[in-house]
């Protein structure tokens, strides 16, 4: 029997929440992700780029998954006193959750595992530590990379991917590289 795991934070809310409360909620939800879920999520990441040529195939699957997994481990060990306490914008948070939910397919176990995994990680990166959804230095076709200048992060494909409906770029804190 397949039991659907539900993230308690994934219910849309209209009550104010701060970064500390969100972190504690994400940490609790991270405990629902087990090794089997992580393996399924990794398999999904590998299959999603099956027809992408190297080196991008490895960059978009294995390397990206390592970034996600390291961020996931960071969630579990992060202490509330290590983050800046800020109010979470309920409208932006609801938009992010809706976007994540729209991209899920619970009938596909691998996709569902990946979606639950990245939903925790992406919310953490976006709303708590304010980091890009891809690692700095990640290479895109044409040799373009995610960069930072000490103040902002820049992505060479942000504006191109935001409208695709398959990415989460609209929630990433990166600015488009053309804004540099």
Whether 44 has a pLDDT exceeding 90, the answer reads yes
Per residue in 89-128, pLDDT tens?
A: 999 999 998 888 888 888 899 999 999 999 999 999 999 9
Whether 36 has a pLDDT exceeding 90, the answer reads yes
Q: Is 61 left (phi over 0), alpha (psi -120 to 50) or beta?
A: alpha
What pLDDT does residue 1 have?
36
Report the share of the chain in percent with pLDDT over 70: 88
What average pLDDT score do residues 40-67 get? 92
Domain limits, the chain: 17-130, 132-180
Whether 12 has a pLDDT exceeding 80, the answer reads no
Report the share of the chain in percent with pLDDT over 90: 63
Q: What's the whole-model pTM score?
A: 0.86
Find out whether 66 and 1 touch, Cβ atoms under 8 Å. Answer: no
What pLDDT does residue 89 have?
92
What pLDDT does residue 170 have?
83
What pLDDT does residue 6 have?
42
Find out whether 83 and 128 touch, Cβ atoms under 8 Å. Answer: yes
What pLDDT does residue 169 have?
83
């Amino acid at each position: 029997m397949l039991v659907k795991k539900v993230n308690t934070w994934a219910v849309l809310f209209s009550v104010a929440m701060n970064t500390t409360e969100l972190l504690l909620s994400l940490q609790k939800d991270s405990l629902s992700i087990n090794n089997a879920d992580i393996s399924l999520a990794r398999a999904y990441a590998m299959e999603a780029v099956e027809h992408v040529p190297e080196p991008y195939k490895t960059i978009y699957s294995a390397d990206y998954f390592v970034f996600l997994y390291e961020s996931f481990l960071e969630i579990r060990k992060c202490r509330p006193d290590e983050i800046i306490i800020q109010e979470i914008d309920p409208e932006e948070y609801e938009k992010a959750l809706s976007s994540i939910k729209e991209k899920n397919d619970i009938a596909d176990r691998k996709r569902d595992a990946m979606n639950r995994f990245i939903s925790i990680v992406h919310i953490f990166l976006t709303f708590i530590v304010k980091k890009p959804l891809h690692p700095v230095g990640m290479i895109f076709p044409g040799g373009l990379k995610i960069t930072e200048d000490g103040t902002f992060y820049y992505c060479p494909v942000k504006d191109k991917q935001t409208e695709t409906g398959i990415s989460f770029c609209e929630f990433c804190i990166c600015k488009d590289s053309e804004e540099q």
